[in-house]
Structure 1
Amino acid sequence: MLNSLFGRIKICNVIRTYQADSLNPEQVGKTEDALKKLLPEAIITFDLKDDKKLIRIENIPFDSDLVIEKLEELKIFCSLISDDILTDNLLNTSEQMHDFWDSAFLRHQTMWGFEPANSAIYAKNFFLQNGVENVLIPGIGYGRNAGLFIDNGIEVTGIEISETAIRLAAQKYGEELIIRQGSVTEMPFESRTYQSVFCYGLLHLLTPPQRKKMIHDCYSQLEEGGWMIFAVLSKKSPNYGKGRKIADDTFEVGNGGQIFFYEDQSVQEEFNQYGFTDFIEVDEQVNVRTQKPDFRFLMIKCRKPVNNKT
């Protein structure tokens, strides 16, 4: 869903080229008709010169697995050999992020449902074990993970850039949930401190300076003895390496999105000065077709020390 979400917000296209094992001119018409039913707006071209047997598809970002499956139904077996993204604009500024996410929530509404993420379940259990009574959730969205904490007696305050997402959250939770409207890159929005911070699936979408500032700002809003947990994508995640590489462990996804994938060294570098304790791996979002997880996350835990000076 993450890759397709980034792809559907902007109108810029991708061109994907497939190498077929066998494809003759007589098959072209039927193949194009089948692909047009799958991707009605796509521009589809065939290159059969010199036995190349290439199929090129230009469209808004789409699921290549569906294309390959459709071709296999026609007894045409192929593989993706290139994936060119036709944009150089990355979603870095607050204005861009606002437009992106508000458009996403307008179009897809409660796109992930209200079943909490595995990472949120872990965080809830950990917070309860440590006596946490309130939590700050930057990038709360429409509150997918909020209900889990609320139902277990943990007061939730969120930060969210999209007015549409805030409206959706209000419809679900009413006054049980407080959300500050704004970008996480512009924290803090209040002077209050919290016993815990939980941030799911957001930090890895930011640039290095934005990540550094956000970690610092979250830590600053943490009470002494408080915990913060960040759920970020791991280098072991199945989607690592997909898209155009733009920096070390950083790849462009869809049209304008970017993802940074964490491993032990980068976790240490970014979190050591903020009370880092440990991390665990958590799998998320089982693919209904493969029955394998689409993503692997790192749950990074930090604790703010208690100042015992009197």
Structure 2
Amino acid sequence: MSEYWSQRFRQEGMIWGSEPSPTALLARDTFRQYQLKSVLVPGAGYGRNTKVFSEEFQTYGIELSQIALEMAVEWDPMSYYIAGSALYCKLDRQVDAIYCYDVLHLFLEEDRRRLVANCLEQLRPGGLLFFTSFSDEDLNYGCGRMIEPDTYEYKEGKYAHFFSEIGLREHFAETEVLETGTQLETLRSPQGVTHTYILRYILARKSTL
């Protein structure tokens, strides 16, 4: 996976443009409301979304691609970046909040569980999680070869899991779910090409026990 993303970032640069996801703005406002101080962004890419948080929170980004990390340091030098996999990477301290944009659906079930579990380890008791992922309401759901239930190779060599409301909540069964919803997301490349899809988001709180 590291080579795939490095090749894409090397060839396409800021693949999804420079504007943050609307969900990053929603998460920022929520974290602000709860007066949180620190945020972790697993799968930080080139810093498109970390920049939203680093302006007012202590922000950490985890990223597998070295090419993306080099871009991120230039785009958002206020965040602290860590090279590694979001499945295994550990911080030396727990954070108040985690914002994870469109990473969870990239994995098969075992690794999806591992990602959520690892994120919970990095989060202090009572901290907040805000995750986004592909929705089963998106037009690509059911397209291509099924690899696992609700997981499809919707493009050659590229698969994703498409979450139902129940399926997304089930992945966060060990947390207190505060809110779920759907969002129409539009990505714009530097070349002006747009792609619109439907994602789901979930806001949850880690148990204090």
TM-score (norm 1): 0.63
Secondary structure of the residue aligned to 1:272 is: coil
1:13-24 aligned at under 5 Å gives the runs none
Residue 114 (structure 2) pairs with residue 210 (structure 1): no
Post-superposition shift, 1:149?
Answer: 1.2
Post-superposition shift, 1:130?
Answer: 1.0
Post-superposition shift, 1:293?
Answer: 7.2
Match of 1:301 in 2: 203
Q: Which runs of 5+ in 2 are unaligned?
A: 189-193
Match of 2:191 in 1: none
Match of 1:196 in 2: 97
1:239-278 aligned at under 5 Å gives the runs 239-278=140-179
Residue 89 (structure 2) pairs with residue 187 (structure 1): yes
Q: 1:177 aligns with which of 53, 68, 79?
A: 79
Match of 1:221 in 2: 122
Match of 1:167 in 2: 70
Q: Deviation per CA, 1:84-134, whole angstroms, max 9, x where unpaired?
A: xxxxxxxxxxxxx11111111111111111101111111111111111111
Corresponding letter in the other structure for 1:185: L
Match of 2:61 in 1: 158
Post-superposition shift, 1:220?
Answer: 1.2
Return the structure number with greater helix share.
1
Contact 2:140 2:154 (8 Å CA) reproduced: no
Say which structure, 1 or 2, has more relative contact order (CA 8 Å, 6+ apart).
2
Secondary structure of the residue aligned to 2:6 is: helix
Q: Distance in 2 between matches of 1:117 and 1:191?
A: 28
Q: Distance in 2 between matches of 1:140 and 1:218?
A: 14
Corresponding letter in the other structure for 2:197: F
Post-superposition shift, 1:146?
Answer: 1.3
Contact 1:277 1:303 (8 Å CA) reproduced: yes
Post-superposition shift, 1:144?
Answer: 0.5
Match of 1:81 in 2: none
Corresponding letter in the other structure for 1:103: Q
Show structure 1 runs of 4+ deviating over 4 A: none
Secondary structure of the residue aligned to 2:129 is: strand
Post-superposition shift, 1:141?
Answer: 0.2
Residue 8 (structure 2) pairs with residue 104 (structure 1): yes
Q: Deviation per CA, 1:159-215, whole angstroms, max 9, x where unpaired?
A: 0000000000111223x1111101122232x23100000000110011101000110
Match of 1:78 in 2: none
Q: Distance in 1 between matches of 2:186 and 2:20?
A: 11
Contact 2:177 2:202 (8 Å CA) reproduced: yes
Structure with larger Rg: 1
Q: CA RMSD in A?
A: 1.9
The answer to which of 245-254 and 163-172 deviates more is 245-254
Q: Distance in 1 between matches of 2:154 and 2:85?
A: 21
Q: Which runs of 5+ in 1 are unaligned?
A: 1-96
Corresponding letter in the other structure for 2:201: M
Match of 1:88 in 2: none
Q: How many residues align?
A: 205
Post-superposition shift, 1:306?
Answer: 2.9
TM-score (norm 2): 0.91
